[in-house]
Structure 1
Amino acid sequence: MKLSARNRLKGTIVDVTKGATTAHVRIDVGGSIVTASITNESVDELQLKVGGEAYAVIKASDVMVAVD
């Protein structure tokens, strides 16, 4: 895999929930859960299933931080 994004977090898929057009894929990365919203078509093409390995690839121009 060659990507310009440097933030690649490898983990295990713990949940795939499909909606009308968009799916939420939850990936356990070292005990933390990262959730991605992707198309149902992408879930099917990538054959994403609970228990499978996947990368959460993060490329953003902004990172927000909040505290209570």
Structure 2
Amino acid sequence: MKLSARNLIPGKVKKVTPGAVNAEILIEVTPGVEVVSIITMNSVERMGLKEGDEVKAMIKASSVMVVKD
């Protein structure tokens, strides 16, 4: 698979919370650091996603903001 996105973050599925249409996928990228994704239930089923799966979180954004207090 070839992608134009540069931000691929490897991790492990920690939890899949299914809903009627979408599911919340909690991905642990390193101990104590998690990324959450909302995807369709169809995608969850098609990909066979389950807890413990090794995945990559692909982040595509046209801008990244930096905030400092």
Distance 2:40 2:57 in 1: 15
Question: Percent same amino acid at aligned positions?
Answer: 49
Give the corresponding residue for 1:39: 40
CA RMSD of aligned residues (A): 1.4
Following TM superposition, where does structure 1 have runs of at least 4 consecutive aligned residues deviating by more than 6 angstroms? Answer: none
Q: How does 1:1-68 map to 2 (within 5 A)?
A: 1-31=1-31, 32-66=33-67
- Residue type at the aligned position of 2:37: A
Could you state the TM-score of these two structures normalised by the residue count of structure 2?
0.88
Q: How many residues align?
A: 68
Provide the rounded CA distance (Å) in 1 between the counterparts of 2:8 and 2:25.
15
Long gaps (5+) in structure 1: none
Give the superposition deviation at 1:62: 2.7
TM-score by length of 1: 0.89
Q: Which ranges in structure 2 are unaligned for 5 or more consecutive residues?
A: none
